[in-house]
Amino acid sequence: MHSVNDEHSLDSNKLNYEEIVSRIQDDSRGPYQNSFLQECEVMNFLIKTIVTSLRDVELAFKGELTMTENMETLMNAIFFNNVPATWSKFAFPSARGLGSWLINLKHRLDQLNLWKDNPQSIPNVTFINRLFNPQSFLTATK
């Protein structure tokens, strides 16, 4: 089971949406930037969902919360290397096991972190398979 420190490190990976938006000048905010900002919002919500659910399980183990059926379902999914349904509901379609899914989630976050350093420009390479909504990105680039 993850410790609170692990959860805080995951939580610290959330993208500072307000800061990113403030770095985009109004005249340079186009469909591409809107697509990536949407990706940032989805990523942040998914990270929040993961952190909250793991924190709740940890608190239940400490006796500070009552263990619920949803928490047990989450723990069983993790034990069997499956992506918990409460996470996949807000994520990307995937048939991967949990370990591979988490690596893929990190790759998606890495791509967003590369973009956020210079959100006004369009990167030379964007991995479409690392986007939550690739159709939005493809429409934006047309």
Domain count for the chain = 1
Provide the residue range defining the domain that includes 39.
4-141
pLDDT at 2: 44
Average confidence (pLDDT) over 120-131: 88
CA nearest 109: which of 121, 97, 91, 93? Answer: 91
For residue 81, what are the CA distances in angstroms to 69, 78, 122? 18, 5, 36
DSSP 23-61: TS-GGG--HHHHHHHHHHHHHHHHHHHHHHHHHHHHHHH
pLDDT band at 5 (very low <50, low <70, confident <90, very high): very low
Average confidence (pLDDT) over 63-77: 93
pLDDT band at 118 (very low <50, low <70, confident <90, very high): confident
* CATH code for position 128: 1.20.1270.280
37: pLDDT strictly greater than 60: yes
